[in-house]
Every structure is written in C-alpha cells, then in structure tokens.
Structure 1
Amino acid sequence: MPLPSQPLRKLGFLTIGLFDENDPRRGHESTLEIIQLGEQLGFDTAWVRHRHLQYGISSPVAVLAAASQRTTRIELGTAVIPLGWENPLRLAEDLATVDILSGGRLNPGLSVGPPMHYDDVKQALYPHTADLEDFSYDRVRRLLDAIGGKPVTDFRGTEGFEEFSHRVQPHSPGLIRRLWYGGGSLRSARWAGEHGMNFLSSSVVRAEESEDFAEIQRSHIRTFRAHHPDGGAARVSHGLVVIPTDSAIPQQRAKYEAYVEKRTPRTASPQGPARMLFARDILGTSAEIVEQLYAHAGFREIDEVAFALPFSFEHADYVQILTDMATKLGPALGWRPR
C-alpha cells in the first residue's frame, strides 16, 4: 500500500461541475477544460459527480461523451450515478456507447437507494410505479447483466429490413471490468466485493463499528477485498477532499482556509439517525498533506486515488490545485505522470 517505499500507482481527481443557472454552458465548458488540463498534467483519471435538480452535472454520461472527444488518454469516471433515477437497460446502452466512443476509457461508478427527496420527486420520476420501484442492489445486478452481454429479450433476428439483437448494443467487452460501486457501509463493501466490482471508498461513511473515519474506511476496504475474487488485488479508489497550497496566492489560501473551517464541525461526530460520518478536508502544502495521508489508516490500504475538488471554488483555483497535485503532491507520493 502507498507508504514511502511503495509509490502511488494512479492519481485522479473528482469535480462536481457547478454552473450558474443563467449561464449553464460556461460551467459545463469549465468542467471540460478542467478534464483536458488533467490529461495534459498526466493525471490517470478524471471523475465527475452527479447532481439531479441542482446546479451541478445532471447528466455525467453526456458530459463524459463530450470529454471523450476532447481527450485521448485519461480515463473518465462517474462518482457516482444514483441508480434510483435510472432504467438499468437504458443506462447500459448509454454507458456502452460512451465507452466505445472513448476507446475503452469509461469507469462508471454507481450506487443504489431511493432518490434524494423521493417523496417530492416521485410523481415526476415514476408517476405510475412510484410505490413499486425496487431500489435495492437488484438494480445494479440488472445493469451488470446488461453491460456484461446477457440477453435482455427473447427476441432476436431479422424483421423486414431490420436486424435485432437479444443483448444491449453496442456491446463493449471490457466495460464490465471497469464498473465501480460507491459504498459507505460494510454491507455495500461486501456486496461490491461479492459481485466482482471495483470499489469507490466514500468520503461519507456509516459509523457502524467506530467513530474514527480512517478506521471505518480501512474496515470497508478490507471487507470488500475479503469478499472479492481478486482478493488483495481488487481495485479500490480513495476520494478525500485534498487542497494543496504550494503555489496558491494569499487570497486563495484565505479562501481555502475559510472553506475548510466552515466544513470541519460536521466531521466531529456522526450525523443524523443514520450516523453518517464525514471525512475531514486536508489542507496544506504537499509535504504537509503527504504526512497526513501516510498517517491515514484508509489511505494506507490503497494505491490509487481520486482526490475530490472543493465544491464552490473558481476555475483558476481548480487550475492551481490540480497543477500542485500533479507537479508536487503526486510526485511526493511516488506517483509519476503518464
């Protein structure tokens, strides 16, 4: 695992892609430019968040389709697509199409559960089946089967001048091995492992065995690998909010410090009935961040990361943070740009 003698293998970043309601194109263009910059800096992966009925990316698959045509090498991921909003069969078609367009670079991250504020949105989303919808892991199984090439219909063959397939088209053979589950509980970690998925370790976890975030995260990673066919070699990506300040100007440092200070109180103890525990943001020079990461029990379990960019910063701030990650923080962790 990534100790000073064992280098970090993959460096990635995650962005929410915020935009102004009155000028949404500018925000989406900013996200695409950030992904292009990530490729130029040598990052291995770029991930986008998913936000419905908010001022963030509501259609990450469409955004990544555009990104696939502006980049050639960097892998493109979602963290995560909440399947409660999706039809697994239709989503499988979209994901396979973008994977083909990208040359096999798509890394879809998924989660299950009812949509947020379901009581408020269910009549618009599922007007006739709201009380019948299944938001369990079965929704992921359906997507896995569809992407894996299993039949989704009994009909195949020629009808008139048209030919029909019994499985999702296009079929992208390698995509099934690049599906990730975003989990924040022992149950989700175990399920992802048992079903051979990759695992996105969440920055928000359920405080089941402990109130120490790093210890909980380590437990989730070990549970996942204990139930995965690949064991210790199963892929896990780590996603803390990390803000290097090496080249930041004083105004940026002040902004970053205020951002972290405002968010820190919620990390002190589990929140709400579900006892959800938030990770602390890590702010400082790359040398200071490296010291904190090597002391983090969860980080010591992995060899790839997708550091999350803060939600509400400006484009220039993200350029500074990504540049410091690629030129200072990554190399300090033993990573080398591709």
Structure 2
Amino acid sequence: MPPTSEPLRKLGFLTIGLFDEGDPRRGHESTLEIIELGEQLGFDSAWVRHRHLQYGISSPVAVLAAASQRTSRIELGTAVIPLGWENPLRLAEDLATVDILSGGRLNPGVSVGPPMHYDQVKHALYPDTADIEDFSYDRVQRLLDFVRGKPATDFSGVEGFEVFSDRVQPHSAGLGRRMWYGGGSLRSAQWAGEHGMNLLTSSVVKAEESEDFAETQLSHIRTFRAHHPDGDRARVSQGLVVIPTDSASPEQRAKYEAYAEKRMPRTAAPQGPARMMFAPDLVGTSAEIAEQLYAHAAFREIEEVAFALPFTFDHDDYVQILTDIATKLGPALGWRAAA
C-alpha cells in the first residue's frame, strides 16, 4: 500500500433502486435484499439515491425504514435527498423517526437547489408558493435546526389531555452529527464545513480551480476540512463508480465494459454551462481498480467510500459486484469487514 494513502476505514455502497413500472414491489424488494446482502458481507454502510417522477426510489426514508427492520448493524444513508422537494420540518420528523427505529444508524445526505425540471413540476409541487420558495442553503439550515433540537414553535405544554413539544419529536440526539451534504463545488464544501455537516463527494464535481477531476475533488475536500470545526478529522465519503470483475462471467464483463465505454465521452471535458465534470467508471479486477484509486489524489485523503452501483444492471450483477468489492477490492484498500 502506498505510504500516501491511509487504509480504508469505512466501506459503503450506493444504489438507485430501479424498478419496473408494472411490478414496483419487485424492484423495491431487490433493493432491500441488496442492503441485507451488504450487511452480511460486512459493509459499513448502504446508501440509496432519490428519484422523483422516475422509476427509482422516490421515498428513500420509507425504504430505509423497511431496511432498518431487516438489518441490525449496517448504517443506512441517503445520497442525496434534494430538499427542493421537501418541507424541512416534516422531513426532520421522518428522519428522526427512522433513526430511532434503526437504533441510531441513519445517515441523511441532502442537497439544495431548485427541483429538476422545476418549470414543469412547480405547479404540482408548490401550487401557491412556487415563485417564492427558497431553495438556498437556508433550507438546509432549517432542517439542521429541527434535527438538532432547536424550537420549531413558541408553544408547548398541556392542552386538554394532549401534551405538546416545542421541538421535533421524536428527538434523536445523535442524528445531528450524522447529517451529510452532497456537494460538488467549493461553495458547497465550505458551507457544509462551516455548519458542522459531513461531506459526500461523488463522481460529479464542478470545474473551478482545475479541469482535472481528482485535483478538483481534492480541493473540495481540503476546503471543507479547512472550515469544519473538526478540521482534518471531519468526515468525507467519496462515491466513485467502481465495477470489479474478479468473479464476473464473460457476459457480465462485456456488459460492464460497454456501460463504462458509453459513459466515457462525458468525462473528456467539463459539461454544460455549470461546467460539471464526471469521473470515469472504474472497471477491471480489484487489483487494477485499487491501483487506480491509490493514484487518485482525492482518494488518498479520505477514509470512507460509498461506491456507486451502476444504474441499469440486474440483481445478479449487483450481487457479484458487491461480493467482489467486499472480498477483493476492500481488502486490497486496507479495509476490514465488520464482524
């Protein structure tokens, strides 16, 4: 192991939870089975994406509530909930409830900004307030305040036979320290650090100081930690797409290579007005992927990952990929499976 890289301390994975419109239960059941498998393989965390008006998980908090009752150890996260679709007070109640049910294993990841395709959906989402909704960091701050126990009202006490609290109930004391921000820019990294959140950095970043993906991601990590009260100990999780092929069949390897090749052109240069950069998908044996990760400037400064599973693969593919990650790639990165 190169001396510039610390052993990987926490190994996680991320899934989008796709389903067929004609049989949505099967897709959701597949997601729950994958999370159960992750716990059996010793993964430290399982994360789910959030998709609205698509054929992916639209309610990750509900899915993780179910997962909390079928697992006992693995941490459960969202990567990420777009807060433009959420009421922070109601979401705080849901998050605290699931955290209590899971025994303190929830790791909510969030982001801000207008909802995707906002002009097409705003009249259904906010029929009376679409033009005055605040999609800034203030929306995250409201959620953080409610999760961390700040008052939501100036009323509390007994009214008739009912007892009222001035803060969100249930209150889960440790949840406030397990809130994550999904950031791809220097501004987001700094804001998350200043507000004591953890940082999720993925395979998408904004080209700001460089057009080299790894160097840009590294600058975000260092900016975050420079502004976080915990400094270099502040938690960062990296979420690249990795597809080990150690135990894959020839047909699976061909599928994986074709998938990565199809997505490769977008990694050549920053994309669109926002100048977003995409990391290449890493496909190969665990030894080959480990070598590529050790050469990655940002990977060398983190101790946690949530490797993203490809969007469109089959259940058996995910089983093979997760098994290889847990038994081959993780150990090659210095990780030890949880008991």
Bin of the TM-score, shorter chain as denominator length: over 0.9
- Mapped to 2, the partners of 1:153 and 1:281 lie a distance apart of 47
- Mapped to 2, the partners of 1:207 and 1:57 lie a distance apart of 29
1:282-303 superposed Cα distances (whole Å, 9 cap, x missing partner): 0000000000000001111101
3-state SS of paired residue (2:306): strand
Q: 1:13, 1:47 within 8 Å by CA — same for their partners in 2?
A: yes
1:3 CA displacement: 5.0
Q: 2:156, 2:164 within 8 Å by CA — same for their partners in 1?
A: yes
Alignment of 1:1-338 (within 5 A): 6-338=6-338
1:40-92 superposed Cα distances (whole Å, 9 cap, x missing partner): 00000000000000000000000000000000000000000000000000000
Give the unaligned 5+ runs of structure 1.
none
TM-score computed with the length of structure 2 as normaliser = 0.99
- Mapped to 2, the partners of 1:171 and 1:263 lie a distance apart of 43
Q: 1:4, 1:334 within 8 Å by CA — same for their partners in 2?
A: no
Q: Note closer, same or farther for the CA distance 1:2–1:32 as it changes in structure 2 (3 Å cut).
A: farther
- Mapped to 2, the partners of 1:61 and 1:205 lie a distance apart of 25
Q: Note closer, same or farther for the CA distance 1:4–1:322 as it changes in structure 2 (3 Å cut).
A: farther
Aligned-residue identity in percent = 85
Q: AA paired with 2:184?
A: G
Q: Note closer, same or farther for the CA distance 1:138–1:152 as it changes in structure 2 (3 Å cut).
A: same
- Mapped to 2, the partners of 1:59 and 1:239 lie a distance apart of 21
Q: AA paired with 1:218?
A: L
- The count of aligned residue pairs is 338
Q: 2:4, 2:300 within 8 Å by CA — same for their partners in 1?
A: no
Task: Name the Cα RMSD after superposition.
Answer: 1.0
- Mapped to 1, the partners of 2:275 and 2:219 lie a distance apart of 16
- Mapped to 2, the partners of 1:62 and 1:217 lie a distance apart of 31
1:235-263 superposed Cα distances (whole Å, 9 cap, x missing partner): 00000000000000000000000000000
Q: Note closer, same or farther for the CA distance 1:265–1:3 as it changes in structure 2 (3 Å cut).
A: farther
1:6 CA displacement: 2.9
1:5 CA displacement: 6.6
- Mapped to 2, the partners of 1:150 and 1:135 lie a distance apart of 21
- Mapped to 2, the partners of 1:205 and 1:41 lie a distance apart of 30
Q: 1:3, 1:294 within 8 Å by CA — same for their partners in 2?
A: no
1:193 CA displacement: 0.3
Q: 1:17, 1:28 within 8 Å by CA — same for their partners in 2?
A: yes
TM-score computed with the length of structure 1 as normaliser = 0.99
- Mapped to 2, the partners of 1:303 and 1:246 lie a distance apart of 24
Q: AA paired with 2:335?
A: W
